[in-house]
Amino acid sequence: MVDHAQTQYASKQMISGANVDEHTSRETALVAARAADDRKADNILVLCVSEVSYLADYFVIVTGFSQAQLRGISQAISDQVEIELERLPLRVEGQGEGNWVLMDYGDVIVHILLPQGRDFYKLEAFWGHAERVNWQSD
């Protein structure tokens, strides 16, 4: 379920599209990927889609193995991005169903899927021409 107070806060406090630069977008994607990794997400992929899509600058695609883990990954990402970058998602969809959670930061879209959903939708194949970004710390 979406917390409407949080969504309103995010709408007021989120860095607006006009003020988001490439560095902020990239950092949001990297923080999200690392937070997902901390919650034991699998097959984490960060794609720079700015050259091939008008939807966002970055996609983060991760796999979780249960509905509870999907919700946990989503919460960890939301918490860590807020702590490090003072940003909240504009929208979070799918937490109630738990098969595919989508977190929309405007310039970054995070997809958290169960393995069967990831295999079915093949997002990385669809966006395969986008640049893959190394998200792991050196």
Per-residue pLDDT of 68-88, as tens digits, reads 999 999 999 999 999 999 999
Determine the average pLDDT of the residues in 24-50.
96
Contact between residue 76 and residue 36 where contact means Cβ atoms under 8 Å apart: yes
Determine the Cα angle at 14 with ends 28 and 135, to 5°. Answer: 0
Determine the average pLDDT of the residues in 13-28.
68
Question: Domain tally for the chain?
Answer: 1
Prediction pTM value: 0.84
Quick check: is 3 in a domain?
A: no
Here the CATH number for the domain that contains residue 117 is: 3.30.460.10
pLDDT over 70 percentage in the chain = 83
116-136 confidence digits (pLDDT tens): 999 999 998 888 889 999 998
